[in-house]
Amino acid sequence: MISTRALGLLVGFAADRLWADPQRLHPVAGFGTAAAALERSTYRDTRAAGVLHVGLLVGGAVGTGWLAHRAAGRSPTADALAVSASTWAVCGGTSLARVGGQMADRLDAGDLEAARALLPSLCGRDASVLDSDGLARAALESIAENTADATVAALFWGGLAGAPGLLGYRAVNTLDAMVGHRSPRYANFGWAAARLDDVANYLPARATAALTVVLAPLVGGRPADARRAWRRDAAAHPSPNAGPVEASMAGALGVMLGGRTEYMYGVQERPRLGDGPAPTATDLRRAVRMSVAVQTASAVGSAFLAVALRQGGLLLRRQLGLLRR
């Protein structure tokens, strides 16, 4: 029998596929506004201040999810609604795919100015210095990484912990995007957000890479190539979680990612991932198709995780009940 948590995850994922992110009063945007306001009080150029900042905000998000679960009480319908609403609120996979498609359209049309204007919707790179190939590569790398961040990880934590897991994970990931980068202001203050995000995404990133390997034929790729790029190249990436998902995507598409990467706060020389030519708009469209396939597979997998945990919990309670007799 399907659990209410599993049902809520599937309904919430379907809502994201149908309607994408809420266009008004987006809860994640509201959380970001609250986090920025709190930062004015908590900011110090120390790791301890960053730990406090993250603890308050993530604790508040988890607490909100727990209160929603408690408010549902013993009503399976209310609990499923809480999980589905949380899933819809925190999953951004459909918006990610749509923006990736729009970027490919603009690159195909040769409208680089429009493509540069769209890039901030995907990542924080300095679009002004990028040509068509650079924009395609930046967008494709963002699609790969954010497939894990925006959907797979959220669904994983939802399957594991329901609404508290969904809201807590999205708080962690949002804070990493806000303060977890290596700029002078956030090198210390953002340390806790970045490290906590690494931990929260460790298993989901590898699940994303594994699904990319399995689903490579859907975009004309070979699982062996995706697996080889993951094993050979991922560890060289500065991010322990972006490495597997970007390398496996590069291998599945038969392109090369990495190289000079310019942000507003500085330049990084990223390792080369995969073999082949630089990605084009056509490859970006293939990456979008892969992203949607991986997201769908992860929704089903997370629902199975929720069912397995429920069945395991019921079995454990029965065994404890027998021991008490």
Question: Distance between terminal CA atoms of the chain?
Answer: 28
Strand partners of residue 273: 257
Widest distance between CA atoms in the chain: 74
The dihedral built from the CA positions of residue 250, 256, 259 and 260, taken in this order, carries a sign that is: negative
pLDDT of 40: 97
pTM: predicted TM-score of the whole model, two decimal places: 0.93
Residue 252: the pLDDT is 98
Spatial separation of the C-alpha atoms in residues 317 and 88, rounded to whole Å? 31
The set of residues, in sequence order, having a beta carbon less than 8 Å from that of 165 and lying 6+ positions away, is 65, 157, 158, 159
Please provide the size of the chain in residues: 325
pLDDT averaged per 10 residues, the chain (length 325): 88 95 84 97 97 98 95 88 95 96 96 94 85 92 96 98 97 96 92 98 98 98 98 95 97 93 70 94 97 98 95 76 61
